[in-house]
Amino acid sequence: MNKYIFGVIIFITILISLRFFEVRFLGNIIGTKLPFLFVLILVSISLKYFFSCQGNFVFPVQLLTFSMLFSIVTSYLVWGQTIIDSLVSTIPLTVIPVFFLLHILKFPIRILENVILVFGYIYLVLNIFQLLNPSIAYFGHALLDDSGGYTESRGVTRIIFPGAGIFWLACFISISKFISNIGNKYIIIPLAIYGLIVPVLQATRQLIAFIFVLYFLHFGFHLSLAKKIIISFLIVFIAFYITTLDLPVFEGIFKETNETKSEGTKYIRFITGGYYLTEFSDTIYTKIFGNGFPNAKSAYGIVTSQLTNRGMWLEDVGIIGLYSQAGILAIIAWLLIWYKAFTVRLPKEYYYCKYYLWMILFTSLTSGSIYNLSYAISTALVLFIFNQVELDKKNQLKRILKFIIKSKLARQFEREKILVIKPEVIVPS
């Protein structure tokens, strides 16, 4: 297949899976129903190859796919939520089976990387546009006020822009390629820099900590000891200096942190996590298979909406929210993925796969990055690339071993052939 066709296919897949970055003026038909039908068809085609792939990540992806799709049955049996309503709420989050289709198509990793970088820049431009116009929400549906604009929180107008997963993947590709001296630095450096700015603009504590530590470790490992010491002192100095400034965003973060500490076990996330972990799933069946993903139109959706109105957001408790909806099998699948993310070796130009999965792990207790719409397609792409790179390494090793064995056999055959055809030496009497 032509590389341009590959590029168009994956571009359309990512764009529609992200619901066009949840742009609000498209309306329900194009903005919601079209993406649902597209992903439904895509998942249906991908499931044909459920047992046709190999690699370390195949079983976890199979397990995660099964747990999320089976939750459709669970929500029907436990809550009486119709299959159609369950499909509408579940399928957009279950795009991960595209992993199997990408393997069957032998999708070129380099094309995937280039398209992801394009989406990184799309996110950057749209995010800056929304930041400059916070009074009107052109994208997304989170953190909005009654007038339809983004609300001010933690000393800043927080814009949690849709499609964050694909942006972070583009950032991690940028820093991986930068260290490997692969790609145009004028293209990858702006994304890498903006990756440091976004967590601060969003005033997200866990993400700020993770990104700054990751950047330091990523670049620090490739520097001399003297440069590491200098950078360490600079980071400490900058951090100390920032604490002396009256910046609203940092004041808001410090205030939020102090309030969280003072609340202790009364903190709403502790209450929400404990409730969904120990009380909401009140039968053995739901403890194993979960309750399914709620649809706002169903009785199940009404119950979760009432809890949300009390501040008990499922996405705020991340992996516990996934457990409540998709059950213990989904958690086992993610534990296997994270184990492999730490233990499977990759060439340094593909470190971005590890960084992305580590970010999901680091934020999995306090955000919906482990399963929500903004991260679903990027997670599928990362798992495919990780699995394919490892398969390529194994296949290359097999080819080298076969070459060595064939070379040894050929040399041995030549020696034996010479001995057979060599004329006998007649010794004169």
Exposure b/e, 57-71, CB count within 10 A at least 16 = b: bbebbbbbbbbbbbb
Encoded tokens for 34: 């079209």
Closest CA to 8 of 118, 171, 96, 170: 118
**Average pLDDT over all residues of the chain:** 86
C-alpha triplet 169, 194, 12: angle, nearest 5°: 40
CB-based contact 139:22 (threshold 8 Å): yes
Mean pLDDT of 154-176: 88
pLDDT in tens, 49-69: 999 999 999 999 999 999 999
Q: Residue 404, class by beta-carbon neighbours within 10 Å (0-12 exposed, 13-18 middle, 19+ buried)?
A: exposed
In the chain, the amino acid numbered 130 is Q
Q: Which residues pair with 153 in a beta bridge?
A: 156
Answer yes or no: is pLDDT of 417 > 70: no
What pLDDT score was predicted for residue 264?
A: 46
pLDDT in tens, 57-101: 999 999 999 999 999 999 999 999 999 999 999 999 999 999 999
What pLDDT score was predicted for residue 261?
A: 47
Mean pLDDT of 112-117: 96
Task: For the chain, give every domain's residue range.
Answer: 3-401
Least confident of 69-78, 83-92, 143-152, 215-224: 143-152
Residue 57: partners with Cβ closer than 8 Å, 6 or more residues away? 99, 337, 340, 383, 386, 387, 390
pLDDT band (50, 70, 90) for residue 249: low
